[in-house]
Amino acid sequence: MMILHHGWRSSASRRVRLCIEEKGIAYEGHVVDMAKLEHHSPEYLKINPNGVIPTLIHDSRPLHESGTICEYLDETYPDPPLRPDTPYERALMRNWIRHIDGLIHNLIIFNWRHHLQKVASQWSDEELAEKLKNIPSKERQECWLRVARKPYTEEERDGARANLVRLLDRMEDALKPSGWLVGKGYSIADIAAVPFLKRIDEEIAPDEISANKHPRVAEWWTKIQARPAFARANFGPFLES
C-alpha cells in the first residue's frame, strides 16, 4: 500500500504526484490542509517531524523530501526510467533538483499571500505565538511571522521574480542539446522544475515563457503539459477564481 500525504497547491507535492503518475503507480492520497496547520499537528509530526509536505508512506514506512521520494520511486518502480543512464548525468540531475529546491523561498513570497496570509493575519499575537511553537523549522516560523504581521513587499516580489527568471535563463541553456534538462530524455530534473514553471506561467512572469524570451523553455513547457501524466497529476490553478 502506498499513501501520499500531500497538498494540491504544494510545489513539492505536485512534483511527487507527477512522478507517481509517470510511473502509473496506484496510491491513496491524503490531503493535508496547510491553512489549518494540519502539517504541524501532533499526528502528522509523528510521520514527518519536519512538519512539511509531502510524506510518502510505503509498506508502512515514511519517506520525506520530494527529490528523495522521486528517486526512491524510480528505483522501486524502474519502468519507465526517470533517471539518466550514466552516473555523471545522474549527478547533474541531482544538482538541478538542489538548485531548484534552493529557489523555493522565491515561490513562498508569491504563494503564501494568496491563501495562508488571509488565515494568519486574523490571529491575535497570543494565537500567533502559540502556533509558531508548533512549527519545527525556524525558517518556516519566520515565513509565518512575516505573512501574519509583515507581508512581503512589492520590492521583495520583484527580487523573487528576478530570481525565478534567472532559473528560466539557466534552463534555456541546459535545454539546448536535447530539449531536456539532463541527458537525452525526460527525467526527475524536469519533474523538479514543473511546479515552478506552472507558477511562473500562471502568475509570476508568464511573458517570460515565450518564443521571444525563452523559446526552448516554451517548447519544453508545451511538451510537459501534453504528457498524460501531467493531467493525471492534477496541476489545477493555484489562484482562486
pLDDT in tens, 143-165: 888 888 888 899 999 999 999 99
> What is the torsional sign of CA 143, 120, 206, 6?
positive
Q: What pLDDT, on the 0 to 100 scale, is given for residue 94?
A: 98
pLDDT value of residue 32: 97
Least confident window among 56-70, 133-147, 168-182: 133-147
Domain-embedded: residue 236:
no
Distance between CA atoms of 148 and 142, rounded to whole angstroms? Answer: 10
User: Tell me: the pLDDT tens digits for 25-60?
Assistant: 999 999 999 888 899 999 999 999 999 999 999 999
Q: How confident is the model at residue 183 (pLDDT cuts 50, 70, 90)?
A: very high
Provide the pLDDT confidence category of residue 207 given band limits of 50, 70 and 90.
very high
Mark whether 121 and 157 lie in a shared domain. no
Specify whether 92 is located in the same domain as 45: no
- For the cut 70, the answer to whether the pLDDT of residue 241 exceeds it is no
Lowest mean pLDDT among 64-78, 126-140, 189-203, 219-233: 126-140
Give residue 239's pLDDT: 78
Who wins on pLDDT, 10 or 149?
10
Range of the domain at 141: 113-151
Examine the domain organization and report whether 193 and 215 are in the same domain. Answer: yes
Same-domain check for residues 140 and 102: no
Q: What is the pLDDT of residue 134?
A: 85
Q: Are residues 125 and 223 in the same domain?
A: no
DSSP per residue over 134-188, as a string? T---HHHHHHHHHHHHSPPPHHHHHHHHHHHHHHHHHHHHHTTTTSSSSTTS--H
Indicate the burial class of 85 (C-beta count within 10 angstroms; 0-12, 13-18, 19 or more): exposed
- pLDDT value at residue 188: 98
Q: Which of 93-102, 126-135, 144-153 has the highest mean pLDDT?
A: 93-102
141, pLDDT greater than 90: no
On whether both 156 and 208 belong to a single domain, the answer is yes
Residue 138 C-beta-side C-alpha neighbours within 13 Å:
0
SS3 state of residue 61: strand
Do 123 and 163 have their domain in common?
no
Number of domains in the chain: 3
> Averaged over 159-185, what is the pLDDT?
98
Q: Are residues 156 and 146 in the same domain?
A: no
What is the pLDDT at residue 97? 98
- Same domain? For 132 and 145 the reply is yes
Of 86-100, 147-161, 178-192, which range is least confident? 147-161
